[in-house]
Amino acid sequence: EDKVVQSPLSLVVHEGDTVTLNCSYEVTNFRSLLWYKQEKKAPTFLFMLTSSGIEKKSGRLSSILDKKELFSILNITATQTGDSAVYLCAVDTGGFKTIFGAGTRLFVKA
Amino acid sequence: GAVVSQHPSRVICKSGTSVKIECRSLDFQATTMFWYRQFPKKSLMLMATSNEGSKATYEQGVEKDKFLINHASLTLSTLTVTSAHPEDSSFYICSAAGQTDQPQHFGDGTRLSIL
């Protein structure tokens, strides 16, 4: 059975800290790995990763994929209170089938 | 770009009512739209996948007669929760994708409360 596992499930940090969120997966067919940020409403798209070892960056956020180890990390540097959210990792297995992890709930204290 | 609009954002109604939720892709043509359900502090659970002009594909355990999905055009899909009961109360989210190699973009979700 295809699965996506995220860790930790929750995390509390102070403003300015750097955090690393983990995502591992086991799927029959892999097309891409996606990261989303979910605040009070629906998820917003952050990154899509298809190739190993190529880091994607957007401001203080960055992500990288290791297809050999079936693993991805999402880094957030110099965290701010506005980064508090649930971060979802998902794997597109093709045919528009996307498997979501349970999410990591991040809380950044002022 | 890639804006998905979902309406309404909040519904409160009595048990037995049918509720229709609309999902529109505003600036792209969505080949496929997805409907998810999310329980508090849980991840997204895919309910069904719909392609324009064809019947929706439902995930195991999702009652197709209970959750009617219509994908009438490349920019509009609707989910109707028929004869809703309190156990149907949840956060329903739609997403849309234009092509298979593009990420899904989500609507803002509909919080459904059945009294």
pLDDT averaged over every residue in chain A? 93
pLDDT at B1: 63
Write the CB contacts of A27 (distance below 8 Å, at least 6 apart in sequence). A2, A3, A4, A91, A93, A99
CB-CB under 8 Å, A44 with B106: yes
Of A92, A96, A103, the CB nearest to B43: A103
Convert the pLDDT of each residue in A40-54 to its tens digit. 888 899 999 999 988
Q: Which burial class, exposed, middle or buried, applies to B89 when counting CB atoms under 10 A from its CB (0-12, 13-18, 19+)?
A: middle
Q: Please list the residues that pair with A71 across neighbouring strands.
A: A24, A66
Nearest one of A12, A41, A73, A36 to B103, comparing CA atoms: A36
* Mean per-residue pLDDT, B16-31: 91
pLDDT higher than 70, residue B17: yes
> B100 pLDDT band (50/70/90 cuts)?
low
- Is the CB of B103 inside 8 Å of chain A's CB atoms? yes
- For residues B2 and A25, the model is more confident at A25
CB-CB under 8 Å, B41 with A42: no
Q: Which helix (H) or strand (E) holds A109?
A: strand A104-109
Name the residue of chain A whose CA is nearest to B30's CA.
Answer: A96
* Mean per-residue pLDDT, B9-34: 92
Cα diameter, chain A: 43
